[in-house]
Amino acid sequence: MWLARVPYRTVLSVTGPDASKFLGGLLAASIPHASSSAPAPFYSAFINAQGRVLYDAFVYPHPTDAAGFLLDHDARESPAPPLVAMLKRFVLRSRVAIRPVAHEWDVWQAWGTGVRVPDLARRWRWARSGAVENVWTDSETPWSADEPCVLVDRRAPGMGRRMLVPAGETPREAKDHDAVDGDEYTYHRILNGVPEGVNEIVPLQSFPMESNLDIMGGVDFRKGCYVGQELTVRTYHTGLIRKRILPVRLSPPPNTSLPPSLDIHLSVPPEEQMEGDAASRPRPRATGKLLTTIPERGVGLALLRLEHLDAVERGDLSLNIDTESGKFEVQHWWPDWFPRTKQVGDEDAHSSNSE
C-alpha cells in the first residue's frame, strides 16, 4: 500500500438547509445518495456559462452537518476567481454558509495492494461526439466507501481511496504503512492518465470532455439545469471531441521541471525525411500542450489532438517540444483502462433508453 498527503489541496465547507440544492445547481454531476436520504461522496467539476472548467472537486457529506458538504479542491492560484469567492456570488437567497476549513482538514490518498476498494465492473456509454461515460446501475454508489470523509476514487482503476483527515493527523493506514512524498501520488496519477487541479485542468481554458471528466465520472449528461450545462450537453450530442489528456514520456528526461503549457509540435522523423524536406516544410501549428512533468521520472501529462495520434503511432510523425534547454521527444501512451475504442458490451448513447 502507498499512502500520501495530496499536495496543493484545500477544503471548503458548504452547510445549511439549502446546501444540496445550491451545489446541485453548480456542479456538473448529480449528487448521489447511498440511501433514500443520505448523500454519498462523489467527484465532479464547476463549469462556467461558456462551458469551460473552473475547478474539479471531490465532494464529501459533512461529518457533523447532515445537510452539509466538504469540498476538496486545488488551492493554487489560477486564472479563475478563488472557488470560495465564486460560490458566494451564487448564494443570493440560498440558506447556505460557505467557509474555508483548510486549517481543519488534510487530504490523503491510499492506493496499491491492501487498499479496500469494492470491485465494480466498468461499462461505457459512447456518444457520437466521442464523449464516453461510465454506466452504473441505480443500486450502485460507486464513490461511496461507507466511512465518513472517505471515498473510493473511481476516476481510474487502481486510484484507491481518498480521505479527509483532521489537520495534523495521519490516516489509520499509517499505523502499518509509511507515508510517501506527494510526488509519488502525482506519479501514480500520471501513469493512470488522471489529470487533477489547475495546472492540468486549466481554469477558463479546459473543456470537460477534453480533460477526461466524462471518462472519470465527473459529468452527468442527463442531469437537470446547472451552470455550463447547455454547452456541455450540446457538445456531447452534436459536437466532436478533438483532444484528450494522455500520459507522455519525455526523451531525454529533462533535468528540471518544464513550465506548464509548453507547445507540442509535430515533426517528420529523420528517417522519413527527404533531402531538404525539413528546411522547406513550414512549422505546423501546435498539436498539443505539455501540462505537467516529473522530470526525474521523465513522464508527464499532455493535452493532445487525437487526429494526429494514429500517424504518430505508425511512425509517420513524431511529437516534440523545443525549449531553451533543448529538444525533447514526446511519446504518448494509452493507459490499459482508457476507453480508446468501443468494445463489445458498450452502449450507444443515441440508442440508450435513458437519454
Give per-residue pLDDT as tens, 318-347.
999 998 878 999 999 999 999 998 886 788
Structural domain boundaries, residue 219: 2-238
Among 160-169, 192-201, 276-285, the minimum mean pLDDT is found in 276-285
**Is position 130 within any domain?**
yes
Which of 238, 273, 297 is the endpoint of a domain?
238
H helix runs in the chain, sequence order = 19-24, 83-89, 182-191, 229-238, 277-280, 309-314
Say which CATH number the domain at 165 has.
Answer: 3.30.1360.120
**Is position 355 within any domain?**
no
The set of cell numbers assigned to 312 is: 504518430
Give per-residue pLDDT as tens, 183-232.
999 999 999 999 999 999 999 999 999 999 999 999 999 998 999 999 99
Which of 204, 238, 272 is the endpoint of a domain?
238
Any idea what DSSP says for residue 277?
H
C-alpha distances (whole Å) from 104 to each of 93, 98, 334 are 27, 14, 38
The set of cell numbers assigned to 37 is: 436520504
Q: Are 79 and 202 in the same domain?
A: yes
Asked if residues 59 and 70 have their Cβ atoms less than 8 Å apart, the reply is: yes
Number of domains in the chain: 2
Q: Residue 346: what pLDDT?
A: 84
Asked if residues 299 and 194 have their Cβ atoms less than 8 Å apart, the reply is: no
Asked if residues 59 and 23 have their Cβ atoms less than 8 Å apart, the reply is: yes
Asked if residues 148 and 162 have their Cβ atoms less than 8 Å apart, the reply is: no
C-alpha distances (whole Å) from 244 to each of 203, 228, 290, 305 are 16, 20, 12, 7
Asked if residues 34 and 99 have their Cβ atoms less than 8 Å apart, the reply is: no
Q: How confident is the model at residue 169 (pLDDT cuts 50, 70, 90)?
A: very high
Asked if residues 155 and 335 have their Cβ atoms less than 8 Å apart, the reply is: no
Asked if residues 111 and 188 have their Cβ atoms less than 8 Å apart, the reply is: yes
Rounded average pLDDT over 61-86: 96
Element (H, E) at 126: strand 124-126
Q: Are 52 and 116 in the same domain?
A: yes
